[in-house]
Amino acid sequence: MTRAAAAAAADAADATAAPDTRAAVSVRALRRTFRTTGRGSGLFTGRLRGRRRDEDTGERVALRGIDLDIAPGEVHGLLGPNGAGKTTLCKILSTVLLPSSGTVHLLGHDVAARPAAVRPLIGIVFGGERGLYERLTARQNLLYWACLYGMSGRRLAERSEELLEQLGLGAHADERVERFSRGMKQRLHLARGLVHDPPVVLLDEPTAGMDPVSAHGFRDLVRALRAEGRTVLVTTHDMAEAEAVCDRVTLIDRGAVVASATPAELGAWAAESERVTARDVPPGVLTQLSALPHVTAVPPDAQGRTVLRVGEGGDAAAVVRLLLDAGVRELATSRPGLEEVYLRLIGRRGMEVAR
Amino acid sequence: MRPPGAPRAVRDARAAAAAFRVQLLLVRRSVGDLRVLFTVPLYALIFLAIAAVSGDRSLTAYAVLAPGLIALWSMMLFAAGDLITQDRSAGRLEAVVAAPVPLFTVVAARLAAVAAVSLISLAEAWAVARWVFGLRVPLVHPMAFGVGLLATAFAMTGTATAMACAFVLSRSARIFQNSLSYPVYLLGGVLMPVSALPGWLRPASRLVFLTWSGGLLRDSLATPAVADLPGRLLALTALGLAGFAAGGWLMRRILTRVRAAGTLGLA
């Protein structure tokens, strides 16, 4: 049996797993492949470009049998590097892309078999500046999209006004979108995704382009959505954001789930103990520190900042003492955050795009 | 949280009205989309000049209607292609498809708005005849002309909807647009009578709605009673319905295909 056939057989077996009927979103053995144009061994085939493809079948695998359950009212973060499969999963959930195999249920409806039942239940916010009618005003955009979701009359007008005000666009409601900044467009995207009052909200990198103040405002908005009982799936690269708003996070990489837990559980699991951050550590001291049991030193960054990880059984106090004795005065100890977990699980791969 | 609960037909009708209004707003704010209307007076000048030189008064109706029908077809042809292409390249197509209202309904309503705007071209041609050539072209049978115009807009919208649905699959709609102008004008008897076409080609012209609408509108400008008005209206309506039916069928098939292939949003 070839590797591809074995994978397909495994997928078929997994696909029989029943969805969790209590979950707002239930994903089982979800696999999605894309046909690639560069088959064979031409100059521009995947191997020469360093891409990972199943060349026997001329396919690129975007999702490799994902299982995921999101409880009603949960804010769930989907984290992963570029090309990990986050947007592919979002597109399948939003019914614009069909799975190659496996199932996805949203509030009990199969998104592939019953898209018409799913569409009114989900609000979608695709990230980026695109996706709006630039020559229309914010209000005209919002009213139009709301009509496509079956809204009308007083409810439509009230909801549109409410969202424009809530997202800080009230004063700009009658300006054309082409004059908007990237952040303002992003807010209008958010309004569009929420205008029909959906029980499930899908946010695909919603703060891309927002300034820090607006991004904080976004966190308040997500908390408000949770307080209203909505289920939220948010994809992001912003670890602080995920840590701040998500009840649970799932890390995916190369189309597979790497870990799924609360941010606190992931932090505790990935870094059993503590880390010490120090500046301008003399090289000799760094060598001494690295020699201590269960201590790992990351080489200094451009600002001269060194991170020392103290694993289970290590003595963080000894690390701090050694640093102070060496005259290092700028240091801090902390528990690892989600960013640390992400980097440890996904790895440091620089600018490489996982495919 | 309460997902909208209006009956599907009511919901779709409201959405169609919204799409119609939005398209009117978009057209109003884009001079480029109205470029065809700027060429109508020029076409009218050429055709009316030819008719005047020939001395054949019967050609006046041809000369007045031809620029309008050309503009109607041309605007719809470009709108059919550009509507999908622009929504796709601007990242809107996926969002529209993800909405509960069918893409087919949105496309048909937006094209209907373009059809309504394109009817301005007939008034332009009339104005050129009146103010440049001093010709009065009376509407001898205004009722026949009015319903003929409505049926023409309906048939045009149906045909354009079918084309637009096919363009969901195509990433090069412009090639089709460019190749579907003059052949259709000739086949539809817009530039010259269908009777001047080779005999083997004439049956094909019966399948082009412009043949029926051009004939009906021209006859409504002439003194004799309009022959077989119900039959011609029926033909126009049937061709429009065929366009809508083909569009609906194509849209379902093509959307399933692009959702499976993952090419819906690829420009």
Report the mean per-residue pLDDT for chain B: 88
A121: distance to nearest CA of chain B, Å? Answer: 6
> Is A194 an interface residue toward B (CB < 8 Å)?
no
Reported as a pLDDT band with limits 50, 70 and 90, residue A329 is confident
Among A14-28, A102-116, A285-299, B219-233, top mean pLDDT goes to: A102-116
Asked whether residue A194 carries a pLDDT value surpassing 90, the answer given is yes
Chain B partners within 8 Å of A131 (Cβ) = 90-92, 95
Are the beta carbons of B26 and A133 separated by less than 8 Å?
A: yes
Out of A17-21, A134-138, B92-96, pick the least confident: A17-21
pLDDT at A48 over 90: no
**3-state secondary structure labels for all residues of chain A:** CCHHHHHHHHHHHHHCCCCCCCCCEEEEEEEEEEECCCCCCCCCCCCCCCCCCECCCCEEEEEEEEEEEECCCCEEEEECCCCCCHHHHHHHHCCCCCCCEEEEEECCEECCCCHHHHHHHEEEEECCCCCCCCCCEHHHHHHHHHHHCCCCHHHHHHHHHHHHHHCCCHHHCCCEHHHCCHHHHHHHHHHHHHCCCCCEEEEECCCCCCCHHHHHHHHHHHHHHHHCCCEEEEEECCHHHHHHHCCEEEEEECCEEEEEECHHHHHHHHCCCEEEEEECCCHHHHHHHHHCCCEEEECCCCCCEEEEEECCCCCHHHHHHHHHHCCCCCEEEECCCHHHHHHHHHCCCCCCCCC
Q: Looking at the predicted structure, is the pLDDT value of residue B169 above 80?
A: no
Say which of A116, A131, A135 has its CB closest to residue B95.
A131
Q: In chain A, which residues have their Cβ closer than 8 Å to the Cβ of B17?
A: 147
pLDDT digits (tens, 9 = 90+) for A235-282: 987 777 888 889 999 988 888 888 888 887 776 665 555 778 888 888
Predicted local confidence at residue A214, as pLDDT: 77
**Res A336: pLDDT:** 62
Share of chain A above pLDDT 90, in %: 36
Q: Is the pLDDT of residue A13 over 50?
A: no
Domains in chain A with CATH codes: 70-263 (3.40.50.300), 272-334 (3.30.70.920)
For CA atoms B141, B143, B146, B148, the dihedral sign is: negative
- Give the closest of A116, A126, A130 to B100, CB-based: A116
**Residues of chain B contacting residue A119, judged by C-beta atoms under 8 Å apart:** 98-100
Contact of A163 with chain B, judged by CB distance below 8 Å, is answered with: no
Question: Would the CB atoms of B98 and A132 count as touching at under 8 Å?
Answer: no
Q: Is the Cβ pair B3, A121 closer than 8 Å?
A: yes
**Partner B contacted by A143 (CB < 8 A):** yes
Mean pLDDT of B146-154: 95
Q: Does B97 touch chain A (CB under 8 A)?
A: yes
Per-residue pLDDT tens digits for A105-133: 999 999 999 999 999 999 998 777 788 99
Distance CA A115, CA A197 (A): 18
B134 and A CB contact within 8 Å: no
CB A275 within 8 A of CB A307: yes
Report whether pLDDT(A180) > 50: yes
Predicted local confidence at residue A6, as pLDDT:
45
Share of chain B above pLDDT 70, in %: 96
**% of chain A at pLDDT higher than 70:** 81
Instruction: Tell me whether B70 touches chain A (CB under 8 Å).
Output: no
pLDDT value at residue A287: 86
Once rounded to an integer, what is the mean pLDDT over residues B245-261?
A: 91
ipTM of the predicted structure? 0.87
Pairwise CB contact (< 8 Å): B91 & A91: no
Query: What is the pLDDT, as a whole number, of residue B62?
Result: 86
CB pair distance less than 8 Å for A94 and B91: no
Mean pLDDT of A53-81: 84
B-chain CB neighbours of A150 within 8 Å are: 4-6, 11, 14-15, 100-101
Average pLDDT, chain A: 81
Q: Is pLDDT above 60 for A355?
A: no
Which residues from B are below 8 Å from A151, CB to CB?
4
Residues 137-176 of B with CB under 8 A from A: none
Task: State mean pLDDT over A270-299.
Answer: 79
Q: Which residues does chain A have within 8 Å of residue B26's beta carbon, measured at their own beta carbons? A: 133, 135-136
The verdict on A133 touching B (C-beta cutoff 8 Å) is yes
- Taking contacts as CB-CB distances below 8 angstroms, the residues of chain B near A97 are 259, 262, 264
pLDDT tens, position by position, B19-78: 999 999 999 888 888 888 999 999 999 999 998 888 887 788 889 999 999 999 999 988
What's the pLDDT at A49? Answer: 46
Give the residue on A whose Cα is nearest the Cα of B28.
A135
pLDDT of A92 strictly over 50: yes
Domain boundaries, chain B: 11-261
Q: Do B15 and A135 touch (CB under 8 A)?
A: no
The answer, yes or no, to whether residue A56 has pLDDT greater than 90, is no
Question: Measuring CA to CA, how many Å separate A51 from each of A7, A46, A55, A88, B63?
Answer: 19, 5, 10, 18, 61
Q: Judge: A150–B15 Cβ closer than 8 Å, yes or no.
A: yes
- B chain contacts of residue A124, beta-carbon cutoff 8 Å: 95, 98
Question: A18: pLDDT confidence band, cut at 50, 70 and 90?
Answer: confident
The confidence score (pLDDT) of residue A129 equals: 76
> Which positions in chain B touch A229 (Cβ < 8 Å)?
1
Beta-carbon separation of B18 and A35 below 8 A: no
Q: Exposed, middle or buried, A77 (CB in 10 Å: 0-12/13-18/19+)? A: buried
Inter-chain contact B90–A134, Cβ cutoff 8 Å? Answer: yes
Contact A96 B264 (CB under 8 A): yes
Measured between CB atoms, does B267 come within 8 Å of chain A? no
pLDDT beyond 60 at A144: yes
Q: Per-residue confidence at B266, pLDDT binned at 50, 70, 90? A: low
